Structure 1
Amino acid sequence: MLVRFLRGAIPIGAVVAVLGLIVTPFLHPLSGVAGVSIGSVGISGGKVKMESPRLSGYRKDNRPYEVTALEALQDIRNPTEIELSTMTARIQMQQEGWVTVNARTGLFNSQKEKLKLVDDVKVRTESGYDMRMRSADIDFKAGTVVSREPVKVLLGSTTVEGDTLDVKDNGALIVFDGRVKVVIENAPARALAGPEREGSTPAPELLGPVKAPVAPNREPAAVDGGSPGNAPATGTRQ
C-alpha cells in the first residue's frame, strides 16, 4: 500500500507539515562558527577515538544547535567517515522550539554529505510531536530521508505507522509505504466523514431541522358553464 497521504480523508495536511518540520534539521547542513569540545583523544584499532565530543554553534538563521555523543571514532585511513555513539542533536526551530534527535549510532560521511542513523532513532519537538524509526539514511545533497524499516509518528491524538518512509525534496513530498495505519483517537464523526456518495444516508445532525410538509394553496377549479356535467345545481328538485 502506497500512501502519498490521504488528503481529504483526515486532517493529514497537519501531519505532512509536522513531518516536514521535524526532518528539516537533517536536510540543511549546519553552518556558522562552531564551538568544539572533547573530553580526551586516543588511538584505538587504527581509529582516532574522541570521548564526549560536543559541537555547538549557530546556523545561517542565527538559531542555535548542539550535537553531543558518548564517543566519536574517525578512521585514520579514511578521515571523511566519522562514527558517533549515543548521539544527541538539539536544534532550535522557529515554531516548534527545540527539536531533539537521538540515535544510538550515527555514521557520517563528510565527503558524500550523508548521515546514517541506526538503532532507536527518535525525533521529538517541544510541542509534543514524536517520530520513531529503527534506522534512517539522510542525503544532504539530494534533500532526502529514507527508512526501509517500520516508522511510527505520534502527533497528539493521531498516530501514523508505515513499513517504510521516503522524504524527498527537503520534505515537500513524504511517502509512507507498506502496511500503513492511521489512528485518530476521540475524533468527531464529522471530521472523519468523507464526501457523500450516491445512495448513502447523511447523518441526521447534518441535515438541519426537519419541517413538516405544508400543502400548497390551490386555486378553486374553474367551472365550465357550457358543459352539462359541470353545471351547478340551482333551485329545488321537483
Structure 2
Amino acid sequence: MVRASRLVAAMKMLLPALAITLVALVLIWPQISRNTADIPVDQAPVTLEDVDTLRMANPRFVGQDENDQPFEIVARAATQIGDTGQAVELDHPQADMVNKDGTWVSLNAEEGVWFKDASVVNLTGGVALFHDAGHQLVTEEAMIDMGPGNVFSEVPTQGQSPGGTIRGEGMQSLDRGARIIFTGKARAVLYSTGASE
C-alpha cells in the first residue's frame, strides 16, 4: 500500500510537469523552425573585409546638374571606397543626361568611380558615348563632369555619326553633347550626301 501511494504521489507531480513541457514545446516549436528556415544554407560567410565595406546591388542615383537638368547613374553594383562614402566604385555603370530640348546623352563602361563631392565619374574599360542625334564615341577612358555635363578623354577615341567617322587622340564632349571636339591628331572620313546614283 505504501509503495502504491508513493507511485500515485510521484505521478501527480510528474504528469503536470510533463503536460507543461509539451504545451511549451508546441508553442515554441514554430518559432524555432521558422528561424532555422530563414538561414540561407549556401550564403557565403561574412568576412571582416565585408563589415568595413558598404556594397549595393543594382543602385540607381539621380540628381540635377548646375542648370537643374536631371541626370541618372545606374550600375550592376556599387561599393563604397573608404570611410567617408564620397567615392563609390561602380560595376558596369551607365550615366544618362537629359538636355532642356529633350535630347539625351548616355555613357556606359565596364568600371567606374564616382566622386560624389566633386560630382565627377571616372570611367574605364570600353567606354561608349551615345547621343540621340546618332553620334557614337568609343574610347578606353573618360571623365564625366556631371555639373556642366562635359565628358573628357585623353586617350585615342573613335567616333561615328550619320555624316561620317572620325578618329582622334582624345575628345571633349561639351554642353551635354551639343559640341564634340577631337583633340590631338585627328582624321575624319565624311560621307557624301549629294552623290548621284
Deviation at 1:72, TM superposition (A): 0.2
1:68 aligns with 2:74: yes
Structure 2 vs 1, CA of residues 48 and 140 (structure 1 numbering), >3 Å: closer, same or farther? same
Gaps of 5+ in 2: 1-45
1:46-100 deviation line (CA, Å, top 9, x unaligned): 3211111123466687765432110001024242111111111233334463432
Question: What is the match of residue 156 of structure 2?
Answer: 150
Aligned length: 148
Question: What is the match of residue 126 of structure 1?
Answer: 132
In 1, Cα distance between equivalents of 2:118 and 2:66: 21
1:165 aligns with 2:171: yes
Deviation at 1:144, TM superposition (A): 5.7
Give the counterpart letter for 1:55 in structure 2: F
Structure 2 vs 1, CA of residues 114 and 177 (structure 1 numbering), >3 Å: closer, same or farther? same
Gaps of 5+ in 1: 1-41, 190-238
Q: Is the 8 A contact 2:109 2:126 kept in 1?
A: yes
SS at match of 2:93: strand
Question: What is the match of residue 26 of structure 2?
Answer: none
SS at match of 1:186: coil
Higher helix share: 2
1:80 aligns with 2:86: yes
SS at match of 2:167: strand
Kindly report the root-mean-square deviation, in angstroms, between the aligned alpha carbons of the 2 structures.
3.5
In 1, Cα distance between equivalents of 2:104 and 2:176: 19
Q: For residues 1-238 of structure 1, what are the structure 2 equivalents within 5 Å?
A: 44=50, 46-56=52-62, 65-95=71-101, 97-139=103-145, 145-166=151-172, 175-188=181-194
SS at match of 2:134: coil
Identity, % of aligned positions: 25
TM-score by length of 2: 0.59
Q: Is the 8 A contact 1:96 1:126 kept in 2?
A: no
TM-score by length of 1: 0.50
Which one scores higher on RCO, CA 8 angstroms, separation ≥ 6?
Answer: 1
